[in-house]
Chains A and B, each alone.
Chain A
Amino acid sequence: MKTFRAAPSTIILWVLAALYLFPTAWFLLSSLKPGSELFSLPLTILPRDWTVAGFVTAWNRFDFQQYFINTTVVAVVTTALTVIVSAMTGYAFAKYTSWWLRGFFICILATTMLPTEVIMPSSFAVVRDLGLYDTLAGIIVPSIITATGIFMFRQYFSTIPDELMEAARIDGVGEFRLFLKIMLPLAKPIAVVLAIFSFQWRWNDYIWPLLILRDPERYTLQVALRSIVGADNIDWSVLLAASVISLVPMVVLFAIFQRQILSADINSGLKD
């Protein structure tokens, strides 16, 4: 009986899942075809000749090692700073009360409504005037504060009972040690979730690197890929392989942290 009732939703679910999976599967399989086979009709789902030639060409023709290093530096450094700054700010919002904290909270809230893309021309001018044009720091520094991260920590810290803080204060623990030694270790789970999300945001970021980076030596993966797609004659064999290579770190990250990512109660950060 139960199997019978489950049948329609199982079919719908798996048809949808197949539709979602197919584009990526087709893309991965195509990247394993030799260049000559990519356009030869009739197209076949599985490659007739399996080859990694596209990957070799892509790796040799483009300075992928450099792009990987650049993107990793940006993603890791930004993520570390984002977690620290979000934790401090979210903690202040959750555990202290004053009119200026409330005012600044509204300012942070407003940043979700007004993303940087909207004020691109002047944001670019600011980064340039700070002397950060064409540097990796020029991508890192502006991306540190995210409203989502601050909300996540604020929400998390406000669930921790105030009595804990009072007890520590009575024992003579100062405000900064209280935060560093007691509260921050408690917030480890949320820090992990934010770190994963932040890494994904920064790894896949396009608009800041596009505006700020000029020297191909400093390109991130996304900007480098865009320069291949933007060419008049797209070299599909190289483009497919290069795109697959750029996905590897995110897939590895997902494989490791799948549980944390899929069970992440991201709602808690934003709904309140």
Chain B
Amino acid sequence: MSVRTLTTPTTADPTAPIPRAGRTRKRRTSTTHVLAPLVFISVAVVLFLLFFVWPGALGLLYSFTDYSGVGDLDFIGLDNYVDLFADDAFYASLARTFLYTALSVPLHYVVSLGIAMLLASSLAKGKSSARVIFFLPWLISPIVAGVIWRWLFGENFGFVNFVITLLGGDGLHWQTDASLALALILIVSTWATTAFNMLLFIAAIRNIPKSYLEAAEIDGANAWVRFRRITLPLLAPTSFMVILLTTIGSMKEFAMVQALNGGGPGTQNMFIVQYIYRTGFERADIGYASAASMVLMAILVLIALVQMQFDRKRDLA
């Protein structure tokens, strides 16, 4: 999925197949063909301008001011950015977000692809009921997902620590140890996002022609070689999309963590969106939060561009 292929027009010029149309008719058709699509996209254009372009521009403007949400704007030049780049809390949350993203993307990818392979192409029994089970977390909101796992992994009351003590161990500090808390966030997000990625993979796996795999099997390729040499390369477009969407999703993780541990212990697992929320809405420092938003936006654009570059290289190869 690269911008290049996406923007290539898939349909021919609709006026083209009417070669015998008279001059007046042609002119009339071409004018309606400007008016009609314009009307069709008008609502989307207005909403896009209102809720993407305007906030984007306003955010850039705010980032140069000390706006607190009320009152006047005072331009303070680059002060917010200067402060931001000297703010340890900002770096800490940015670094934590990167660490989380770097861990979650491969984890989500491997788990959802693995489960999709089991469901779509293995001989396993009971696949249709298993598929419903793997899909159930999709119904559950991030907030409730946080509640469910917080309940399961409670330090003093959770079922998991109860089993650990029963087996003779000491309960683990899922809430008060920063690394374990991050591990828990990874587990929950994997559990929650498998459903959607799995559906994408299952659809793509089913589209792989059976004859390819059968031919390889006859030639003596074992299951792993067939997966590595046939399935995986043919899944490349889906893989690219899952990785891109997971990366963006991980960079903006917020709601589930709010319910799971609130970014705790303390602020040790505070991700960047929570940082922006806190500075912007709890400290009412809209200008400063906007500067952080702009930095995050630049990072996301960079990530998307880098990933598309990879996608393009693969297309050419």
Contacts and interface: CB of A to CB of B under 8 A. Distances in A.
Contacts of A94: 10-11
A122 B59 contact: yes
Interface string B48-78: 1011101110110010000001000000000
B221 interface: no
A211 B203 contact: no
A122 B276 CA distance: 11
Contacts of B115: 16
Interface of B: 1, 3, 5-7, 9-14, 17-18, 29, 32-37, 39-41, 43-45, 47-48, 50-52, 54-56, 58-59, 62, 69, 115, 118-119, 122-127, 129-144, 146-152, 156-157, 159, 162, 166, 191, 194, 196, 199-200, 203-204, 237-238, 241, 245, 248, 252, 254-255, 258-259, 262, 273, 276-277, 280-281, 286, 289-290, 293, 296-297, 300-301, 304
A90 to B, nearest CB: 9
A109 interface: yes
Interface residues on A, range: 35 or more
Contact of A204 (B7, B54, B141, B196): B141
Given A158-B10, A272-B5, A121 B280 contact: yes
Given A21-B136, A26-B151, A120 B277 contact: yes
Contact of B200 (A162, A222, A239, A267): A267
B17 A13 contact: no
A261 to B, nearest CB: 8
A102 to B, nearest CB: 5
A9 B199 contact: no
A109 B57 CA distance: 18
Most buried by B among A38, A42, A272: A272
A13 to B, nearest CB: 4
Contact of B41 (A13, A43, A89, A158): A89
A109 B123 contact: no
Contacts of B152: 22-23, 26-27
Nearest to A239: B147
Given A16-B115, A91-B40, A106 B3 contact: yes
30 contacts: A6-B122, A6-B125, A9-B122, A10-B126, A13-B130, A14-B124, A16-B118, A21-B136, A23-B191, A39-B156, A92-B41, A96-B33, A101-B37, A102-B7, A104-B44, A105-B6, A106-B3, A108-B48, A118-B273, A119-B55, A119-B56, A125-B58, A142-B47, A169-B18, A170-B18, A179-B40, A243-B148, A262-B132, A266-B200, A272-B10
A13 B115 CA distance: 7
Given A43-B162, A96-B40, 16 more contacts: A10-B124, A10-B126, A96-B36, A113-B300, A120-B280, A121-B276, A126-B50, A130-B50, A141-B51, A204-B140, A225-B143, A230-B258, A247-B139, A247-B144, A262-B199, A272-B5
A243 B289 CA distance: 32
A122 B290 contact: yes
Most buried by B among A101, A121, A243, A262: A121
A14 to B, nearest CB: 7
A175 interface: yes
Contacts of A2: 123
A65 interface: no
Given A94-B11, A130-B50, A6 B124 contact: yes
Most buried by B among A17, A141, A239: A17
Contacts of B259: 225-226, 229
B290 A97 contact: no
Contacts of A203: 141
Contacts of A27: 147-148, 151-152
B44 A176 contact: no
Contact of B248 (A102, A109, A115): A115
A156 to B, nearest CB: 12
A258 interface: yes
Given A101-B37, A247-B144, A114 B297 contact: yes
Interface in A204-240: 204, 206-207, 211, 221-222, 225-226, 229-230, 236, 239-240
A204 B48 contact: no
A121 B148 contact: no
Residues of A contacting B: mostly: helix
B28 to A, nearest CB: 11
Contacts of B39: 88, 176
A108 B44 contact: yes
Contacts of A135: none
A166 interface: yes
A117 B131 CA distance: 31
Contact of B300 (A101, A114, A163, A265): A114
A258 B131 CA distance: 11
A107 B39 CA distance: 17
A258 B135 CA distance: 10
A212 to B, nearest CB: 11
B97 to A, nearest CB: 12
A1 B293 CA distance: 59
A89 B44 contact: yes
A113 to B, nearest CB: 4
A24 interface: yes
A20 B162 contact: no
A129 to B, nearest CB: 9
